[in-house]
Amino acid sequence: MRARTFSKLGLLVASVVAFGCGATFDPATEIKSLRILGVQKDKPYAVPGEDVTLSLLWYDGTQAGTSEPPRPVQIQWLGGCLNPPADSYQGCFAEYAAALADPTLAFASGFTQGSGPTFSVKLPTDETAGPFGPVLHPSQDVKLKPYGLSYVFFAVCPGAIEAVADKAFPLRCRQDGADLGPNDFVLGYTAIYLFGPSSDGSAYRNANPVIGGFNFGQTDVTDAACFGAGCFGPPAVDPATQAVVGYVDPTEPAHIDCNVWPSLCIPSCSDDGDQLKCPKHEISLTIDPHTFEKDQVTNEAYSKDYLEQMWIDYYSTAGKFKSGTKLLNDATTGWNNENFTEFYAPSATGPVRVWAVVHDNRGGVSWAGTTLEIQ
C-alpha cells in the first residue's frame, strides 16, 4: 500500500493538438500566457463546520516583452459543492448552473461565490448540509476512515466573467462581445478533504509546507523575495470612480539594484537557456524540517509510518530550468538532498520573474518568488 496522493490542483482547459514535424513549444515552466501557478488552502484537511480560506497565485505573461501595461483580470470563485457523484468534479457543474439561476436553490445547497485573490468557504455539518448530507461517507477502501469532499472552482479572465446556462461549466469569459479562449480564460478546481476524529479523538490535520528562505546561486536572497500573499498583485482601480475593476500582477521593476543584490543580476545567454551552452545558476529553498508531517490517515489504516510526499514546481517568465519539478521528500525514503534546480538565462535582457511552488500530496501548498535582472 502506497501513501495516498490527492490532486493538488485541477485545470479545466481546452486541448490543442498540433500535427506535423519540427514543431517546437515553450516549456511548461515558461509563462507566456495567463497561468495559475498555485492554490493554497489554510486548512488542507478540515472538519465539518469550519471556514477554509483559499488563496490564488497567478501570473499573466501575455504582455511580457511589450510596452503594454499588465491587464487587469477578474477572479471568480464557486464553492459549496459537497460529495458529488463518484467524487467527480464534473458532478458539480449542473448544481452550480442551477444555483446561479435560482438564488433560493443556491441558499439551500450551500452554494457560495466570491471574487479576488482570496476566498472563504464555510464547510457544512450534517445539520446544515440538509439533503446534500451526510458530510462524511465511507471510502471505497474499507480500511480508511469516512471522509467528505468539498470542491471549490475558480476562474481567471481579463474580460468579464458571466454566468451561462448552455455550457458544461456555468461561467464564460467575454471581451468585446466575444468568448475568450484557454490562453485568456483559465478555469480550475481544488478539493478540500473533511474527516471525522482520529483514533485518539483529535482532528486529522495537514499543515501547508513552511518555506524559510529563497536562495539564488550561493546567496540567500530571502529579503528580495515574496512569500505567500506577498506574491499577490494589487487591485486595479478605476481612477474616475475608485472602484476595483480587477487585479494585476505586481509591476515589473525597471531594474534590480545590482549594487544591493549582485547575485540576482546575471548575464544574458545568446543561446537562450540552452543547458549545454549557457552558464547555470542554482535555485533552492530553505525548508523547515518540521514541515514534513506523517500521513496520519494512511498510517492509522495500515499500521505504517509513511511521511507525506513533497515536491517543488519552478516557473519563470523567461529562461529555462534543468528540471521544472524536484522531489523534496519521499513517503518512505524521506528527504531528498538534491532538491535544487538550475536556471539558464534567456537571450533577452531585462527583469525575469521566478517562482517556486511547494506541494505535498495531501493538498498542502506554499510558494515563494523573486525577480532576476538579466544584463
Convert the pLDDT of each residue in 270-300 to its tens digit.
Answer: 999 999 999 999 999 999 777 889 999 989 9
In the predicted structure, residue 15 carries a pLDDT above the cut 50? no
* pLDDT recorded at residue 10: 64
For 150-164, the pLDDT digits (tens) are 999 999 999 999 988
Average pLDDT estimate for 235-247 = 84
In the predicted structure, residue 221 carries a pLDDT above the cut 70? yes
* pLDDT recorded at residue 197: 87
Average pLDDT estimate for 35-55 = 95
Is residue 14 very low, low, confident or very high in pLDDT (cuts 50, 70, 90)? very low
* pLDDT recorded at residue 25: 43
In the predicted structure, residue 5 carries a pLDDT above the cut 90? no
Average pLDDT estimate for 29-47 = 93
Is residue 244 very low, low, confident or very high in pLDDT (cuts 50, 70, 90)? confident
Residues in the chain: 375
In-domain check, residue 5: no
* Distance in angstroms (rounded) separating the CA atoms of residues 4 and 57: 25
In the predicted structure, residue 314 carries a pLDDT above the cut 50? yes
In-domain check, residue 4: no
* pLDDT recorded at residue 163: 86
* pLDDT recorded at residue 129: 86
In-domain check, residue 1: no
Average pLDDT estimate for 86-110 = 80
In-domain check, residue 338: yes
Q: Tell me phi and psi for residue 282, to 5 degrees.
A: -80, 140
Q: Which residue has the higher pLDDT, 67 or 374?
A: 374
Average pLDDT estimate for 41-60 = 95
* Distance in angstroms (rounded) separating the CA atoms of residues 297 and 194: 12
Q: Which residue has the higher pLDDT, 25 or 86?
A: 86
In-domain check, residue 167: yes
For 193-216, the pLDDT digits (tens) are 999 888 888 899 999 999 999 999
* Cβ–Cβ under 8 Å, residues 198 and 296: yes
In-domain check, residue 241: yes
Classified as helix, coil or strand, 343 is: strand
* pLDDT recorded at residue 107: 63
Looking at the DSSP bridge assignments, the partners of residue 197 are 203
Looking at the DSSP bridge assignments, the partners of residue 369 are 226, 355
In-domain check, residue 355: yes
* Cβ–Cβ under 8 Å, residues 182 and 14: yes
For 125-146, the pLDDT digits (tens) are 999 888 788 999 999 888 888 9
Model confidence, pTM: 0.89
Q: Which residue has the higher pLDDT, 363 or 69?
A: 363
Three-class DSSP labels, 84-142: CHHHCHHHHHHHHHHHHHCHHHHHHHCCEEEECCEEEEECCCHHHHHHHCCCCECCCCC
Cell of 85: 457523484
* Cβ–Cβ under 8 Å, residues 375 and 267: yes
How many domains would you assign to the chain? 1
As to burial, measured by CB atoms within 10 angstroms (0-12 exposed, 13-18 middle, 19+ buried), residue 211 is buried
Percent of residues, the chain, with pLDDT higher than 70: 89
* pLDDT recorded at residue 348: 94
How far is CA 118 from its chain centroid?
12
Average pLDDT estimate for 27-33 = 86
* pLDDT recorded at residue 19: 30
Domain region containing 26: 10-374
In-domain check, residue 59: yes
